[in-house]
């Protein structure tokens, strides 16, 4: 009976999967702030501050820099459906789940899709994009900066140059990278970029920060047809976030409180300190996993700091290990997606979850669980290897 359901009482989890990451108590507290109306002058001020903080995080002066109502995928759909129209030539780079998702959305918008594929676990090479751009007038090239399904970090600057030489717009998915490693929207000449709140920003899922360059705004203004979806049509939404303050849909007020607080925390720490923290904890974790005899999927120089993709050792049961981590240690990691189902562990060190304590705990308990699985590592070697990384850093 519904009226006898108990109070919510969720366990305290250590969130080391591909998102959500752990949320700072100040962000949860911000969400409990009393509501004001979505056109209340107090709220308009909060919106302005949130936009200012987002511009600082994206490293951009772009006017249209706002959180879209919805998770990261809503940001993906917003960027694509606002900037492309039926029969436009669009190139999508695919080396994992999220590139695939972009290709799917391009198809639904009836654009002409050219896929540039790479093996999952490898970066997209610029020569392949150059080939795809030959002989046609491409409107937009889309790529994932941090492919969360494979743990790959995609270099962007040279590709951006190539895309602009060909007169196309450059769209980048920074859902997992933003707030954990450098993302330079203006310097790298990114025309449209989207992210999510529950990865390295360490807020709950529910908003997707996006930013559009002046060129992207021009493309939006000069569309021949309306954006097919009403809800994510930025030509209307931007009038709510801009000077006009025209009602479009009710802003998710508590989520915007949360995002603003998460951004304040980011700038209290400082971007460069925050990125170094993500790098250091990744380096320590990688040293520990190596000492344990586990292999990463990506090459060393292409690995993400915030998402560590390692192969499940031969003979070890993926699901049983992850279930034990959760039930015995209240620690969540992710499994493989698509072709890597059952074959990959995805260990997140995102935002608030990227701590030395989490790294050392995880290595210690994983060692214990693997021993029970008949994969006996050298006891204590993993935490030792990680600790020595921390020692050399100090
Ligand atoms: C998580 C993620 C998304 C999708 O975000 P949702 O919040 O799950 O909708 C898109 N792209 C990348 C790279 C992601 O990691």
Which residue bears the tokens 């390295």?
A: 200
Ligand 1 and 281: CB distance under 6 A = no
Give distance in angstroms: CA of 234 to centre of ligand 1: 20
Give distance in angstroms: CA of 2 to centre of ligand 1: 33
Give distance in angstroms: CA of 200 to centre of ligand 1: 12
pLDDT in tens, 282-294: 999 999 999 999 9
Q: What is the pLDDT of residue 275?
A: 98
CA dihedral 12, 18, 20, 22 (to 10 degrees): 50
Mean pLDDT to the nearest integer, 302-323: 97
pLDDT in tens, 103-135: 999 999 999 999 999 999 999 999 999 999 999
Tell me which residue of 143, 148, 151, 142 sits closest to 122, measured CA to CA.
151
Confidence of residue 162 (pLDDT cuts 50, 70, 90): very high
Ligand 1 and 296: CB distance under 6 A = no
Residue 18 contacts residue 148 (beta carbons within 8 Å) = yes
Ligand 1 and 148: CB distance under 6 A = yes
Cα–Cα distance for residue pair 103/94, rounded to 1 Å = 8
What is the best residue among 104, 142, 177, 196 to mutate for testing ligand 1's pocket, by most ligand atoms within 8 Å of CB? 196
- pLDDT above 90 as % of the chain: 96
Residue 18 contacts residue 334 (beta carbons within 8 Å) = yes
Q: What is the pLDDT of residue 95?
A: 97
Give distance in angstroms: CA of 17 to centre of ligand 1: 13
Q: What is the pLDDT of residue 96?
A: 97
Q: What is the pLDDT of residue 137?
A: 97
pLDDT in tens, 82-96: 999 999 999 999 999
Report the DSSP beta bridge partners of residue 344: 311
Ligand 1 and 98: CB distance under 6 A = yes
Tell whether the model's pLDDT for residue 338 goes beyond 80. yes
Cα–Cα distance for residue pair 27/260, rounded to 1 Å = 8
Tell me which residue of 373, 369, 379, 383 sits closest to 324, measured CA to CA.
369
Give distance in angstroms: CA of 96 to centre of ligand 1: 12
Q: Which atom of ligand 1 is nearest to the CA of 19?
A: 1
Going by the DSSP 8-state scheme, the letter that residue 320 receives in this structure is: H
Residue whose Cα lies nearest atom 8 of ligand 1: it is 72
What is the best residue among 17, 18, 19 to mutate for testing ligand 1's pocket, by most ligand atoms within 8 Å of CB? 19
Confidence of residue 2 (pLDDT cuts 50, 70, 90): low
Q: What is the pLDDT of residue 376?
A: 80
Tell whether the model's pLDDT for residue 73 goes beyond 90. yes
CA distances, 184 to each of 60, 174, 207, 306 (Å): 7, 10, 20, 17
Cα–Cα distance for residue pair 340/117, rounded to 1 Å = 17
Residue whose Cα lies nearest atom 12 of ligand 1: it is 175
Mean pLDDT to the nearest integer, 295-304: 97
Q: Where are the alpha helices (DSSP H) in the chain?
A: 25-31, 41-58, 72-83, 97-108, 126-133, 157-165, 214-221, 234-241, 253-269, 271-291, 318-329, 356-372, 381-393
SS3 303: strand
Cα–Cα distance for residue pair 156/139, rounded to 1 Å = 18
Ligand 1 and 180: CB distance under 6 A = no
Ligand 1 and 19: CB distance under 6 A = yes
What is the best residue among 73, 149, 207 to mutate for testing ligand 1's pocket, by most ligand atoms within 8 Å of CB? 73
**Neighbour-count burial of 204, counting CB atoms closer than 10 A to its CB (0-12 exposed, 13-18 middle, 19+ buried):** buried
Ligand 1 and 173: CB distance under 6 A = yes
Cα–Cα distance for residue pair 266/259, rounded to 1 Å = 10
CA distances, 378 to each of 307, 387, 391 (Å): 25, 15, 21
pLDDT in tens, 259-281: 999 999 999 999 999 999 999 99
Residue whose Cα lies nearest atom 5 of ligand 1: it is 72
Mean pLDDT to the nearest integer, 247-251: 97
Cα–Cα distance for residue pair 170/163, rounded to 1 Å = 6
**pLDDT, mean over the chain:** 97
Q: What is the pLDDT of residue 389?
A: 98
Residue 250 contacts residue 360 (beta carbons within 8 Å) = no
Cα–Cα distance for residue pair 185/197, rounded to 1 Å = 18
Mean pLDDT to the nearest integer, 343-360: 98
pLDDT top residue among 2 and 48: 48
Cα–Cα distance for residue pair 110/123, rounded to 1 Å = 27
Give distance in angstroms: CA of 387 to centre of ligand 1: 32
Which residue bears the tokens 């308990």?
A: 365
Residues 6+ apart with CB under 8 A from 144: 93, 95, 96, 98, 99, 102, 154, 172, 173
Structure tokens at 289: 């996993």
Tell whether the model's pLDDT for residue 394 goes beyond 90. no
Tell whether the model's pLDDT for residue 377 goes beyond 90. no
Cα–Cα distance for residue pair 248/234, rounded to 1 Å = 10
Residues 6+ apart with CB under 8 A from 353: 14, 15, 16, 21, 22, 202
Ligand 1 and 175: CB distance under 6 A = yes
Confidence of residue 1 (pLDDT cuts 50, 70, 90): low
Residue 92 contacts residue 129 (beta carbons within 8 Å) = no
Q: Which atom of ligand 1 is nearest to the CA of 174?
A: 13
Mean pLDDT to the nearest integer, 39-48: 98
């Amino acid at each position: 009976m519904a009226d006898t359901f108990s109070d919510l009482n969720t366990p305290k989890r250590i969130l080391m999967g591909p998102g959500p990451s752990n949320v700072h108590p100040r962000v949860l507290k911000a969400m409990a702030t009393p509501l004001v109306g979505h056109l209340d002058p107090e709220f308009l001020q909060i919106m302005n501050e949130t936009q200012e903080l987002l511009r600082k995080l994206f490293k951009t002066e772009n006017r249209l820099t706002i959180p879209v109502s919805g998770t990261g995928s809503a940001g993906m759909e917003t960027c694509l459906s606002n900037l492309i129209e039926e029969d436009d030539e669009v190139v999508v780079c695919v080396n994992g789940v999220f590139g695939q998702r972009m290709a799917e959305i391009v198809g639904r918008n009836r654009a002409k899709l050219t896929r540039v594929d790479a093996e999952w676990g490898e970066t997209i090479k610029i020569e392949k994009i150059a080939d795809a751009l030959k002989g046609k007038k491409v409107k937009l090239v889309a790529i994932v900066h941090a492919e969360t399904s494979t743990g790959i970090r995609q270099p962007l600057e040279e590709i951006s140059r190539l895309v602009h030489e060909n007169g196309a717009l450059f769209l980048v998915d920074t859902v997992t990278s933003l707030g954990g490693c450098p993302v330079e929207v203006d310097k790298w000449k990114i025309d449209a970029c989207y992210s999510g709140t529950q990865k390295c920003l360490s807020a709950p899922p529910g908003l997707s920060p996006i930013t559009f360059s002046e060129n992207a705004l021009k493309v939006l203004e000069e569309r021949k047809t309306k954006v097919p979806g009403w809800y994510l049509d930025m030509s209307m939404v931007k009038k709510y976030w801009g000077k006009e303050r025209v009602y479009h849909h009710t802003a998710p007020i508590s989520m915007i409180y949360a995002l603003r607080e998460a951004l304040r925390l980011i700038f209290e720490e400082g971007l460069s300190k925050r990125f170094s923290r993500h790098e250091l904890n990744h380096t320590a974790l990688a040293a520990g996993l190596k000492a344990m005899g586990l292999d990463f999927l990506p090459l060393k120089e292409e690995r993400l700091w915030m998402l560590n993709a390692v192969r499940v050792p031969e003979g070890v049961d993926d699901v049983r290990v992850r279930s034990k981590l959760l039930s015995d240690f209240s620690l969540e990691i992710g499994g493989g997606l698509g072709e890597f189902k059952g074959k990959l562990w995805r260990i997140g060190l995102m935002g608030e979850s990227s701590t030395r304590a989490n790294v050392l705990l995880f290595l210690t308990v994983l060692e214990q669980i693997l021993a029970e699985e008949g994969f006996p590592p050298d006891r204590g070697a993993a935490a030792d290897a990680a600790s020595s990384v921390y020692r050399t850093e100090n």
